[in-house]
Copies of this chain bind each other. A is one copy, B any other.
Amino acid sequence: MSEITKKSSKTAALIQEAATNMFATYGFDGTIMDELAAKTGVNKASIYYHFGSKQGLYEACMTTLFSGVANQVLAAIAPQDSVFDQLSAFIAAFSQAAYKSPNMPAVLMREMASSGKNMPKSARQQMQRLLFGLKTILEEGERKGLLKPIQPLTVHMMIVGSLSLYIVSEPLRRGIADAPQADISVAEMTEEVSNLIQNGLKVTEK
């Protein structure tokens, strides 16, 4: 709907998947339509037939990508009862979603860096859904006297920022980390982030 006229077809899906990878890896400007065509074995004109333009293709990719992540995370917190389980589930689900689809954090960081210049509204709204979910958890925790008051956005940025950065930097890290062996798995890192945030937020009764 709107201008993103995604005509269903295997070809379109094939293109979109490959394009999402390329956009995540090389960015919008670094992604080359010829290469996408070559990579998918699809004629360049077909890409334009299905998506209208590079921008249109990008928007289709972003919308699908971010709605997928938002759905996964929100689905993961729904069945949880306690505030801490919800927080745990939120972080774990986001981490898993990002890890399984590392395109998302890559694209997210790039878009953030350019103030979302190319980001379609629909993709932005998915991020809003996530933030809203987190906000609900934090407010409930605060109301019940379990969590210290804090700006949801701060927590959101800490979760999304740290995990995205970590996952995205996996290839690069071997060069920055002081020692390769110091590298830890995403699971471990997620665990640490989750603990740190929960410890940091927990109301400590004296």
Contacts and interface: CB of A to CB of B under 8 A. Distances in A.
Given A151-B182, A154-B184, A115 B172 contact: yes
A105 B132 CA distance: 25
A4 to B, nearest CB: 18
Contact of A26 (B114, B162, B176, B183): B114
Contact of A27 (B27, B127, B193, B204): B27
A106 to B, nearest CB: 4
Contact of A184 (B28, B151, B196, B204): B151
Interface stretch (A8-16, A78-86, A163-171): A163-171
Contacts of A3: none
Q: How large is the interface on A (under 10, 10 to 19, 20 to 34, 35 or more residues)?
A: 35 or more
Contacts of A65: none
Contact of A200 (B105, B152, B196): B196
A201 interface: yes
A182 B26 CA distance: 33
A37 interface: no
**Chain A binding surface SS class:** helix
A109 B113 contact: yes
A151 B200 contact: no
A151 B178 CA distance: 12
A175 B112 CA distance: 12
A184 B193 CA distance: 23
Interface of A: 24-30, 105-107, 109-116, 119, 121, 124, 127-128, 131-132, 135, 150-155, 157-158, 160-166, 168-169, 171-173, 175-178, 182-184, 188-189, 192-193, 195-201, 204
Given A26-B29, A158-B158, A195-B200, 5 more contacts: A109-B110, A116-B175, A128-B177, A131-B176, A160-B161
Minimum-distance CB pairs A-B, first 8: A161-B161, A200-B200, A29-B29, A196-B200, A161-B165, A161-B162, A109-B109, A158-B162
